[in-house]
A and B are shown apart, each in its own frame.
Chain A
Amino acid sequence: MIVIPKAFLRTVLTLELAVIGVCVAGVAGHALWLWFRSRADAPRLARGHAALAAALVAVPDLDQARVAELRGLPRRVRAAVVDQLAVSVTGEEGRRMAEVATTLGLVAAAQRRCRSRRWWRRLLGAHQLNVHGGGDDIFPRLFDDPHPAVRAQAIEWAGDAQHPDLASRLVAALGDSSALCRRTAADSILRAGASLVGALAGELGACAGQQQADLLAVLARRPDPRYGPAALAAVTDALPALRAAAAALLGGVGGASAGAALRSLLADDEAAVRAAAADGLRRLQLEEAVPDLAPLLRDPDFAVRKAAGAALAALGPGGTLLLRHYAADADPFAADMARHSLDVAALRRAGVTLH
């Protein structure tokens, strides 16, 4: 009558018991292994840290005897000691750390990993090269790696390398198929700082459409007058995202033409562009724009009203006067935003920094 044969159930039960046994043994074995390893590693790590610190502080050159001491440690411990410190040192100390890593063979091992067929080995290798240096010949190849996490490491390196020749690589990475790479590219461009400004200004002038909008949006966070001409040209573009990004950048660049362009954008059809223009005028501190900004307190879009309110509050007595006038406006949204902006401005005047 019973469908399920007992033999089948017995087999399943045996299998289950076997799996449970393996799991329990795995947990117990791994726990014990970790326990023994941590006991054994603790003095080695302490020895390693002491040797590394002594090697680094020696002048004028590295204390090779202490480096040799490090070499006497197991490879895993050696790597852990150097990796732990390498992420937190820069400048001359960073250069010495890189020398230690090279002497201990960590850089050569990382370079070998970068040539592996396994993506996680390439990723680990690239990460280690980013920490210790020594990847200048390897990373250009990794820009085209099939795995996005590995590509992101190459993009990270390009930002840290700060070489003008790599600007085009970084700009191209803003259009990568992976969000991780796109974000890493934006981050790397911002970290690269002044050394890439000239090259990035050239790239900005050379690209168009969405790519230019993406680049402008990133550069707006670190505006530079050299980006100004391209941004000014973009304010009349058909792409709203490009106009909004241009407005955001012009707010940080300044100049009479930037002010005029931003004022013209206050009447844009797209709310995002109007909001960016209002915010740009706040950053420019262009008091002449107060009469143009005030009507935006009645804008149907919340972000525009908010940007206009913040701009008026920041643009001196004229802006405050108009905010007071609008605080009693028949439009409840305009009145609300005006009163809110006045309250926030009062807090700021009292020295409160708001998020």
Chain B
Amino acid sequence: MRELVQAVLFAFDWFVLGYFLVVNTIYLLLLCSAAFEMRTHLLVERSERRWRVLQSDIAPTISVLAPAHNEGATIAASVRAMLGLSYPNLELVVVNDGSTDETLAVLIATFALVAVHPAFQQAVETKPVLALYRSRSHPNLVVLDKENGGKADALNAGLNVASGALVCAVDADTIIEPEAMQRMVRPFLSRHDVVAAGGTIRIVNGSEVSNGRVTTVGVPRNVLAGFQVIEYLRAFLFGRLGWNRLGGNLIISGAFGLFDRQAAAEAGGYAHDTVGEDMELVVRLRRRSYEAGDPKTISFIPDPVAWTEVPESLRTLGRQRDRWHRGLCDVLRRHKRVFLNPKYGAMGTFVYPYFVIVELLAPVVEALGILGLVAGVVLGAVDVSFAILFFLVAYGLGIVLATFTLLLEELSFHRYDRLGDRALLLVWALLESLGYRQLTVVWRLRGIWKFLRKRTDWGAMQRKGFSSPTSP
């Protein structure tokens, strides 16, 4: 029996070693790619005159799609903040997705809305549209009232009504940087093959917000929010930026993303029956472009473009993470034909397999690794000092990536400008791999389990609200 266990552990040891090598090689590539991309980005950006885009007649029209469901209390402020974005050709399409509160009444009263007979191209099927409104006070505001169909359905309705060449999907609770549109439109202006673009989403917890703008950037003192700051920085500055040069991204954050309207509509818009609709649309757009023989890319810009609030309770965070992982499972299952398929170029042979092997299966391998190590120690097949050493090496790599990302942030945007905040960030980076990371493994495993049991609920997201500066 003991020999059998040892043989299994031996094989497992090889497997873990191989996995470790593959993953770290990819991480190293991403690290180098991200650093190179950041450098190029900064070198080009310092020689740009963004006001030229602002004053340009050729700046493409952007339609911001803002779905709203029972947001009567905040909708007027959110719409005002979005109307204040600094971009010349901007259209704001607010979709009232069957609200049962006073959302529509507030919009009508605040923005002097007048009903016009709806006539638009039904490029994507949606729940019935009840009315279309234009504003007497804001020429670029369009409000669509429709039956409730969920976020994806509301975005699709907005996609049908939008007139811009580009559409920007925004979560109602996202705070957008005033210059975000000027920055996000850049990939579409400089490349012909860009079908969607995303930017860095930052965490607003710990910062001060006033009139829909982040006025003072700060690092959250809350441990969970602090760890998520590190996670977000790593995901955006190291992960997504790195993919720009290694085959393109597969994800654009649902909180803020810019899409080619025609391509998104032709692809059928957002899928209703998935919890990962933002990633699903991106993968579908790329997949279709390969199938049409005209590969398109998803561009990522490292500039901070939007701010979002993250959960500060384990329960809410756990629900969010298991939903994200269910979404990942679902999208990768739907597009399984892409896996290792050379027809899909770099996306099929490298990017998609990475998402399967590393992003999807990492929690499984990590959990098995920990269990195997513990079992080995208990059974005497592995000595304790080896187990500790192995554990330190594995999690040390997480700290390497986290601190490298902080260095990248420091050398580029350094948005956290207080010395104390930088010190706190370093503390969160050094501690994040010890305890928090293991928790995310549990949540992601729960996501896989729920996916296998075909659970499709979203789970409630409890938010604390943005902190405003105290009155003088």
Contacts and interface: CB of A to CB of B under 8 A. Distances in A.
A340 B426 contact: no
Interface stretch (A8-16, A89-97, A234-242, A280-288): A8-16
Consensus secondary structure, chain B interface:
helix
A122 B175 CA distance: 37
Contacts of B118: 336, 340
B406 A153 contact: no
Contact of A340 (B49, B119, B142, B414): B119
Nearest to B51: A87
A24 B116 contact: no
A109 B312 CA distance: 52
Interface residues of B, number: 61
A16 B13 contact: no
A20 interface: yes
Given A27-B406, A347-B136, A16 B396 contact: yes
Nearest to A183: B189
A34 interface: yes
A19 B117 contact: no
Interface in A6-65: 6, 9-10, 12-13, 16-17, 19-20, 23-24, 26-28, 30-32, 34-35
A347 B190 contact: no
B400 interface: yes
A123 B44 CA distance: 8
Nearest to B411: A30
Given A4-B13, A87-B49, A344-B116, A20 B399 contact: yes
B426 A120 contact: no
A10 B393 CA distance: 8
B116 A343 contact: yes
B10 A1 contact: yes
B419 A339 contact: no
A333 to B, nearest CB: 8
A1 B58 contact: no
B397 A16 contact: yes
Nearest to A88: B51
Contacts of B423: 28
A255 to B, nearest CB: 23
A232 interface: no
Interface stretch (B101-109, B217-225, B353-361, B383-391): B383-391
Contact of A347 (B114, B119, B426): B114
B410 interface: yes
A330 interface: no
A192 interface: no
A148 B139 CA distance: 37
A350 B139 CA distance: 13
Given A30-B410, A180-B190, A186-B58, A352 B385 contact: no
B57 A355 contact: no
A127 B48 CA distance: 8
Interface string B346-388: 0000000000000000000000000000000000011001100
A354 B389 contact: no
B52 interface: yes
Contacts of A149: 44, 47
A347 B142 CA distance: 13
A4 B386 CA distance: 9
A6 B387 CA distance: 10
Contacts of B211: none
B30 to A, nearest CB: 15
A325 interface: no
A179 B186 CA distance: 11
A101 interface: no
B389 A347 contact: no
B17 to A, nearest CB: 6
A190 interface: yes
Given A3-B13, A20-B396, A26-B410, A120 B116 contact: no
A346 B142 CA distance: 16
A124 B44 CA distance: 8
A221 interface: yes
A353 B407 CA distance: 49
Nearest to B6: A1
Contact of B410 (A2, A27, A350): A27
Interface string B434-469: 000000000000000000000000000000000000
Nearest to A327: B117
A62 to B, nearest CB: 25
B57 A187 contact: yes
A34 B426 CA distance: 17
B404 interface: yes
A17 B139 contact: no
A309 to B, nearest CB: 8
B47 A127 contact: yes
Interface of B: 6, 9-10, 13-14, 17, 43-44, 46-49, 51-52, 56-58, 91, 114-121, 134, 136, 139-140, 142, 163, 189-192, 381-382, 385-386, 389-390, 392-393, 396-397, 399-400, 403-404, 406-407, 410-411, 414, 419, 422-423, 425-426, 430
10 contacts: A1-B381, A2-B13, A2-B382, A3-B14, A10-B389, A23-B407, A26-B407, A180-B190, A187-B56, A336-B117
What are the 6 closest A-B residue pairs judged by CB atoms, nearest first? Answer: A340-B119, A127-B47, A23-B403, A343-B116, A339-B117, A16-B396
Given A19-B400, A127-B46, 5 more contacts: A2-B386, A27-B410, A127-B48, A149-B44, A343-B117
